[in-house]
Amino acid sequence: MKQVRIFAGSASCELAAGIAAAYGQPLGDLSIQRFADTEMGPSFNESVRGCEVFLIQSTFPPAENLMELMLMVDAAKRASAHKVNIVMPYMGYARQDRKDKPRVSIGAKVVANIVQSVGTDRMMTCELHAGQIQGFFDIPVDHLDGATVTAPYIKSLNLENLIFASPDVGGVVRTRAFAKKFGAEIVVCDKMRLRANEIASMQVIGDVTGMNVVLVDDMVDTAGTICKAADLLMERGALSVRAVITHPLLSGPAHARIRASALTELVVTDTIPLREPNERIRVISVANLFAHAIRNVVTHESISSLFV
């Protein structure tokens, strides 16, 4: 069996350390040289010749995180690594997965092309914005489910009269899959947008009177949708509203909106590090999940067994 080496990009150091510890070995020694104009150059300070290399980096903004990861892949390939696998807990640009209006790019496909062009052998990620993005890649993609770590926490709360809510029509499939783990029903918050990150109106499809509601989504950016949905659900008679999100982007006014909202708590994972503390946010780590997945890849065991 090939030796395994795990390395961290600068944007995911804490998560990578957790993954390596859960896997049972220390992080590899990697340096990132930075020039005065912010240009970067990664270099491995130990041999990776013939090794199975795993490079861990979420590609949330800025785009330099993606560039850094691609340079790490290139450095590993040129250092004669046997295989180079990238662990991208959060894939940036995944929201741009189709042409929803004329003359726009499909950012997710562009990222897929870049990832493959540098010689990546395999990609591991979590909770893509749309599952079909896997089809943009011509290499194996291990798509892990964030609910694997968040659903047990919700179960531990032993909430009665539990119902799940999708913050928009597009998230119904994800919410239904989450609710199926509990044998519960779902409702939908139907929203209309004027432009990105700005909601014109919202209405609830379904009855939440006397229910403990859990909103389910893949990411939260400015928190406008999730907070408006929580406030509306409470107005419609819900006993409490929580939200379960995999990727906490939390841009701009997000933290202030969460503190001022009707949310009892926001449950997130550590695919993206929090930029500031927030007493309303509970973070659940995906380190063990990724470590287990890496082990199964190395030993050629099933990945789907982790969450099916």
Q: How far is CA 43 from the centre of its chain?
A: 27
Encode burial over 233-253: b for 16+ CB neighbours within 10 A, e otherwise. Answer: bbebebbbbbbbbbbbbbeee
Q: What is the pLDDT of residue 305?
A: 79
Q: Is the pLDDT of residue 198 over 70?
A: no
**Which residues are CB-neighbours of 68 under 8 A, at least 6 positions away?**
9, 10, 11, 32, 40, 42, 57
Closest residue by Cα to residue 177 from 307, 79, 279, 12: 307
**Are the C-beta atoms of residues 112 and 59 closer than 8 Å to each other?**
no
Angle of helix 287-298 relative to helix 13-23, nearest 10 degrees, comes to 50
Confidence category of residue 306, pLDDT binned at 50, 70, 90: confident
Question: Which candidate in 99, 101, 155, 191 is catalytic?
Answer: 191
Closest residue by Cα to residue 44 from 16, 113, 54, 112: 54
Comparing 135 with 305, the larger pLDDT belongs to 135
**Mean of pLDDT values over 282-291:** 98
Q: Is the pLDDT of residue 1 over 70?
A: no
Closest residue by Cα to residue 23 from 284, 295, 301, 298: 295
Please report where in the chains the tokens 């990861």 appear, as a residue: 69
**Mean of pLDDT values over 248-268:** 97
Question: How far from 224 is each of 18, 68, 92, 231, 240, CA to CA, in Å?
Answer: 31, 31, 20, 11, 18
Q: How far is CA 118 from the centre of its chain?
A: 23
Q: What percent of the chain is modeled with pLDDT above 90?
A: 89
Q: Is the pLDDT of residue 134 over 90?
A: yes
Q: Is the pLDDT of residue 170 over 90?
A: no
Q: Going from the N-terminus, what domains does the chain have, and what CATH number goes with each?
A: 4-145+287-306 (3.40.50.2020), 147-284 (3.40.50.2020)
**Mean of pLDDT values over 144-170:** 95
Q: Decide if 191 is catalytic.
A: yes
Which pLDDT tens digit goes with each residue over 65-121? 999 999 999 999 999 999 999 999 999 999 999 998 899 999 999 999 999 999 999
Q: What is the pLDDT of residue 67?
A: 97
Q: What is the pLDDT of residue 308?
A: 57
**Mean of pLDDT values over 188-210:** 78
